[in-house]
A = this chain, B = another copy of it.
Amino acid sequence: MKITARMSEQADNDLTAKARIRNAALALYADYGEDATSMRTIADAAGVTVGLVVHHFRTKDGLREAVEHHIVDLFSYAIEQAPVEGTTAAIAASRDDAVAGMLADNPAVIGYLRRAVLDPTGHRGRILEMLTRFAAEQVATLRSAGVASMVQRDSSQTIGVMVRQLGQLFLQPMVDSMWAQLAGPDADEDDKPNLVVKVQESGATGS
């Protein structure tokens, strides 16, 4: 069964039970964390019984593997969509846009990754590792095609891409809740300070 982008926007009704379970797990893991989410809760959210979850994913670890594989697929598919044309900067920008759009369509991915990334030691999955490898491959591909900046070392460039795309999203909730507490609920959203997250080549100066 082929998963199209449009399907992920449809109602759950048209999804396989297996996909519904996976989506429910992703959403609940993002909101409450894996440890605080029981397989029965996931089953209820997907409208099935626990037995079916086990039937499709065998164990809770297996379910997490499916969730993380799905996240990598979402990134991969988003980047495939971005056109490879124009200047070096234009290509990089269109890829960033494609990823940003995917994340906007799938907010649970942000929440899930936030938990996985802030928990590198205790986390039992390999999602950050997979995404890092994926980003490194992207950098390598663009470089060999001659359409990527070469002023940084490639590892720094890869980390730069990841931090730019994810770092702000991770920290934003902290700023948001502080802003809500300090400025009150009826404050002008436009006055909220902007987060800046980036990496600098070591030894570099200036912005």
Contacts and interface: CB of A to CB of B under 8 A. Distances in A.
Interface of A: 31-33, 35-36, 114-115, 117-122, 128-129, 132-133, 136, 153, 155-156, 158-160, 162-163, 166-167, 170-171, 173-179, 181-183, 190-204, 206-207
A119 B200 CA distance: 27
A202 B136 CA distance: 33
A181 B119 contact: no
Per DSSP, chain A at the interface is helix
Given A117-B174, A128-B178, A171-B171, 9 more contacts: A33-B119, A114-B119, A118-B171, A120-B176, A158-B178, A159-B175, A171-B197, A192-B202, A195-B199
Contacts of A207: 206-207
Contact of A119 (B115, B117, B156, B192): B115
A155 B33 CA distance: 30
Nearest to A37: B35
A183 B195 contact: no
A156 B121 contact: no
Given A153-B191, A178-B159, A122 B167 contact: no
Number of identical monomers bound together in the oligomeric complex? 2
A155 B128 contact: no
Given A35-B36, A170-B171, A193 B201 contact: yes
Nearest to A156: B193
A174 B183 contact: no
Contacts of A31: 121-122
Of the candidates A178, A179, A201, the one having the most CB atoms from chain B within 10 angstroms of its own CB is: A178
7 contacts: A35-B36, A118-B173, A133-B181, A163-B175, A163-B195, A167-B174, A196-B198
A138 B182 CA distance: 13
B200 A197 contact: no
Sorted nearest first, the 6 A-B pairs with minimum C-beta distance are A207-B207, A35-B35, A155-B182, A193-B199, A156-B193, A120-B173
